[in-house]
C-alpha cells in the first residue's frame, strides 16, 4: 500500500479523486518513474523549481527581497524552456537553481518536489499546457517513493496554477 502523507491527506480531505503509487525510495526521474509504473512517459510530469531575477529598485538602489520561486510542472519527456517561462511570467530572466538550492527553497528532497506539497506556501505554479491533452497526469506525491495520478483540472484548481507552453523536447538547459 502506498505511503500516506500530508498530500494524500489533503487530497482525501478535499475529496479529490486520485491514485497513489509506491515507487522505489531513491530519486527516480520522470522517465524512470513512467517505466516503473508502465505508463506513457509524457503523462508523468516533473516539477522544476525556477528562480526569478533579483531586481534592484532604482530609487534607493537597494535590492528588493526576491519573490518566491516558480514551480514549473512539465512533461517528463521535456525540459523547461526558461525563455518561454520568463516571457509568460513577464520576467526579464528566470534561472534554474542547483538541485541543492531547489531542495533548500522548497524544503523537499529532489525527486519528491511536488506542487501538491507546496500549496499555500507562496509558490507560483505554471503547468505546461501539454497537460491538457490528458484527463489525468502523474506528479510527485511530495516525497520520494510516492507518485500521484490525478485529474489535470483538479491539479490546476488546487494549486491555483496557470497553463502555458513552457517546455520543449531536448537536452537540459
Task: Report if residue 139 sits inside a domain.
Answer: no
Boundaries of domain holding 40: 6-134+149-168
Task: Report if residue 144 sits inside a domain.
Answer: no
Task: Report if residue 39 sits inside a domain.
Answer: yes
Whole-angstrom distance, CA of residue 148 vs CA of residue 160 = 18
Number of domains the chain is built from: 1
Task: Report if residue 1 sits inside a domain.
Answer: no
pLDDT for the residue numbered 66: 61
Task: Report if residue 143 sits inside a domain.
Answer: no
Task: Report if residue 65 sits inside a domain.
Answer: yes
Q: Answer whether 30's CB lies under 8 Å from 76's CB.
A: yes
* Residue 38, Cβ density class (10 Å: 0-12 exposed, 13-18 middle, ≥19 buried): exposed
Whole-angstrom distance, CA of residue 112 vs CA of residue 119 = 14
User: Residue 106: which CATH number?
Assistant: 3.90.960.10
Give the residue from 85, 83, 75 showing the smallest Cα distance to 47: 75
All three cell numbers of 133, joined, read 491533452
Give every residue of the chain whose pLDDT is below 50, as ranges. 56-60, 172-173
pLDDT for the residue numbered 173: 41
pLDDT for the residue numbered 61: 52
Amino acid at each position: 500500500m502506498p505511503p500516506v502523507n500530508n498530500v494524500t491527506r489533503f487530497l482525501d480531505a478535499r475529496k479529490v479523486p486520485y491514485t497513489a503509487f509506491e515507487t522505489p525510495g531513491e530519486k527516480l526521474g520522470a522517465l524512470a518513474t513512467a517505466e516503473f509504473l508502465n505508463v506513457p512517459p509524457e503523462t508523468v510530469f516533473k516539477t522544476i523549481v525556477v528562480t526569478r531575477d533579483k531586481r534592484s529598485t532604482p530609487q534607493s538602489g537597494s535590492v528588493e527581497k526576491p519573490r518566491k520561486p516558480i514551480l514549473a510542472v512539465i512533461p517528463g519527456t521535456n525540459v523547461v524552456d526558461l525563455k518561454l517561462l520568463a516571457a509568460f511570467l513577464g520576467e526579464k530572466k528566470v534561472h534554474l537553481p542547483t538541485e541543492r538550492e531547489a531542495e533548500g527553497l522548497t524544503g523537499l528532497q529532489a525527486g519528491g518536489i511536488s506542487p501538491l506539497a507546496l500549496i499555500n506556501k507562496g509558490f507560483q505554479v505554471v503547468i505546461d499546457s501539454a497537460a491538457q491533452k490528458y484527463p489525468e497526469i502523474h506528479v510527485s506525491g511530495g516525497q520520494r517513493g510516492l507518485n500521484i495520478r490525478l485529474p489535470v483540472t483538479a491539479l490546476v484548481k488546487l494549486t491555483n496554477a496557470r497553463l502555458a507552453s513552457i517546455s520543449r523536447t531536448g537536452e537540459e538547459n
